[in-house]
Amino acid sequence: MLVRYKTFPSLFNEIDELITSTHPVLNRFRFVESTRGVAMKDSGDAINIAIELPGIAKEDVKVTLHDDVLTVSGGRKQPELKENEQWIRNEISYGKFERSINLPYSVVTEKISATQENGILRITLPKAEEAKPKEITIK
Amino acid sequence: MTKEVEKNFQTIIPPVDIIETKNSYIVKLDIPGAGKEHIKAKIEDNILVVSASIVDQIGTGKESETMKEYQREFSLANDIDTSTVDAKYELGVLTVTLNKKIQFLPKEIVIN
């Protein structure tokens, strides 16, 4: 059961909130869901987390684990306008972000792996032996 | 991907940045998780349509497969040269460069 992560506000929800609040006509397109921005999945032996980080290079992302809280932080640089350039529209948010996720199981910290591709950070956290599902034989 | 899997569809309007430069408009859209092959951009009747279909964001499994649909349309003013549009996809961001027609570029007038 992965219930706890829904209690965390999503960066992308906030972006969505910002768009819809500044453009009332977009209200009918609201799709704020807990799956937006962060997806967490229990695949039996491991927990898989995917986080949307568009426009952010992997050098600008930091992943840390403290107790059972996984924290992803980093920053997205605002494009600098040159002379003769001007903003027509700016909906993408820039700046620092930090996101913490409570892990529902204990994990093997030495075996955590992460990859980043096409703006998605994927983290695989192998479960500790005691957290893995076990089948119980009925006698 | 099997047909039996129940898909959850979401249509997302990707946030956009538009910067006007001297010669062009640069349009940036956040479409994380797509490969180049999943993104479509076309111009029809002076409307730029950008769309993408992305399957299984988390990339691990079957039962909670999610389909995300991104779409956004932009109506183009007549100062854009639709024959020289350039698009690239990097770090989950699609950048479309729309060049201005030559006759709309700023001209400096020499005072004699």
- Assess whether pLDDT exceeds 60 at residue A31: no
Q: Which pLDDT score is estimated for B63?
A: 47
Report d(CA A74, CA A96) in Å as an integer.
6
Shortest distance between the Cα of A34 and any Cα of chain B, in A, equals 12
Structure tokens at A72: 């992803």
- Domain B8-101 matching CATH 2.60.40.790: the answer reads yes
The residue with greater pLDDT, A10 or B16, is B16
Q: Which pLDDT score is estimated for B94?
A: 95
* pLDDT, tens digit, 9 for 90 and up, residues B34-62: 888 889 999 988 899 999 988 755 554 45
Report d(CA B36, CA A42) in Å as an integer.
28
Return the SS3 of A130: helix
- State mean pLDDT over A77-102: 88
Q: Which pLDDT score is estimated for B5?
A: 44
Interface of A with B in 34-93 (CB under 8 A): 35-36, 39-41, 43, 48-50, 52-57, 79, 81-82, 84-93
Confidence of residue A138 (pLDDT cuts 50, 70, 90): very high
Q: Which residues of A touch B13 (CB under 8 A)?
A: 19, 26, 29
Q: ipTM of this model? A: 0.76
The residue with greater pLDDT, A95 or B5, is A95
Domain boundaries, chain B: 8-101
Domain boundaries, chain A: 4-79+91-128
Q: Which residues of B touch A85 (CB under 8 A)?
A: 19-22
Residue with tokens 């003013």: B77
Q: Which pLDDT score is estimated for A55?
A: 92
Report d(CA A125, CA B33) in Å as an integer.
20
Q: Architecture of A4-79+91-128 per CATH? A: Sandwich (2.60)
What does DSSP say about strands A120-126 and A46-52: parallel, antiparallel, or unpaired?
antiparallel
Give CA A17 to chain center in angstroms: 17
- Assess whether pLDDT exceeds 70 at residue B95: yes
Report d(CA B40, CA B48) in Å as an integer.
10
- Assess whether pLDDT exceeds 50 at residue A127: yes
Confidence of residue A40 (pLDDT cuts 50, 70, 90): confident
Residue with tokens 């700023």: B106
Residue with tokens 């909906």: A91
Q: Which pLDDT score is estimated for A9?
A: 54
Structure tokens at B30: 């956040």
Answer yes or no: are the C-beta atoms of A37 and A13 closer than 8 Å.
Answer: yes
What does DSSP say about strands B66-75 and B86-90: parallel, antiparallel, or unpaired?
unpaired
Return the SS3 of A78: coil
